[in-house]
A and B are shown apart, each in its own frame.
Chain A
Amino acid sequence: MVKRLVVGAHYGLRDWLAQRVTAAFIAVYAVLAAGVVLKHQPLTYVAWRELFAQGWMRVATLLFAVSLVWHTWVGVRDILMDYIKPDGLRFALQVMVLLVLAGYLAWAVQILFR
């Protein structure tokens, strides 16, 4: 039996798990959304607007947006940690990514709840 002293704040496990849980939600939403859109062909404005007027669709899409943003943050952070070695540049890029993601989320909320 190897006794390991696990130290740190478990960022790695939390991100790893979050990436996978959000991936599952994104996948299920994407398949269902694609199914709904393909079923309503040819798509009209009224059908499109009414789809996004329903409460469950707004909530599901908001959860999708949050999952997507969280999933993206873990993935893009991994890419930056692997390829961008200078600390200052990597930090600046990570801040930019976070700002873009926050902007995406705000935009999605604006579209869904106006």
Chain B
Amino acid sequence: MASASAKKIRPKYLNLPALLFEIRLPVPGWVSILHRISGALLFFPFTAWLLYLLDTSLRSEQGFQYVKDHYLALPAVKLGMLLLIWAFCHHFCAGIRYLLLDLDIGIDLRSARITGWIVILLGLAMTAVLGARLW
């Protein structure tokens, strides 16, 4: 017992290398931080981007054709769209998981880890299916 505690350096401070390489988040933790990151990205810049696309595409026939045939064909735009789609899909799936957790559904550790994996994989699968339509 004494030797086990002697090996570890305590107290442990949170710094960037520790966050990136030493602290291993459990799956529900990954779902949570990705929910935050995707939410922040959806606030900015993705909402502004979608408003720009809606504005341009509804303004005139030329605008619609420009968005459809030219703008959405640009590789950088496609990559950005892919990230937008992933952010929405992950936020959507993780959000439904949190609503279920609020109702005490899937609250035990085993279920929480399983549904965590489901959210991460389903978010990626939805991104693949919807993103494939861009190409």
Query: Does chain A bind chain B?
Result: yes
Interface of A with B (CB < 8 Å)? 20, 23-24, 27, 30, 34, 43, 45, 48-49, 52, 68, 72, 75-76, 79, 97, 100, 104, 107-108, 110-111
Give Cα A110–Cα B130 distance, bound, in whole angstroms: 28
Per DSSP, are chain A's interface residues mostly helix, strand or loop, or mixed?
helix
Per DSSP, are chain B's interface residues mostly helix, strand or loop, or mixed?
helix
B111 on the A face (CB < 8 A): no
Q: Is the CB of B61 within 8 A of A45?
A: yes
Q: What is the chain A residue whose CB lies nearest that of B68?
A: A43
Interface of B with A (CB < 8 Å)? 36, 39-40, 42-44, 47-48, 51, 54-55, 57-58, 61, 64-65, 68, 88, 92, 95-96, 99, 102, 130
| B58 → chain A closest CB, angstroms | 6
Q: Is the CB of A76 within 8 A of B40?
A: yes
Partner pick for A72 among B43, B55, B95, CB 8 A cutoff = B43
Q: What is the chain B residue whose CB lies nearest that of A75?
A: B39
Could you say which residues of chain B place their CB within 8 Å of the CB of A20? 99, 102
Could you say which residues of chain A place their CB within 8 Å of the CB of B95? 23, 27
Give Cα A24–Cα B100 distance, bound, in whole angstroms: 12
- 12 A-B residue pairings within 8 Å (CB atoms): A20-B102, A23-B99, A27-B95, A30-B92, A34-B130, A45-B64, A48-B57, A48-B58, A75-B43, A79-B39, A97-B43, A111-B54
| B87 → chain A closest CB, angstroms | 13
Partner pick for B55 among A23, A27, A111, CB 8 A cutoff = A111
Give Cα A27–Cα B58 distance, bound, in whole angstroms: 23
Q: Is the CB of A79 within 8 A of B54?
A: no
Partner pick for A48 among B47, B51, B64, CB 8 A cutoff = B64
> Which 7 A-B pairs rank lowest in CB-CB distance, beginning with the nearest?
A45-B64, A45-B61, A72-B43, A75-B39, A111-B55, A107-B51, A23-B95
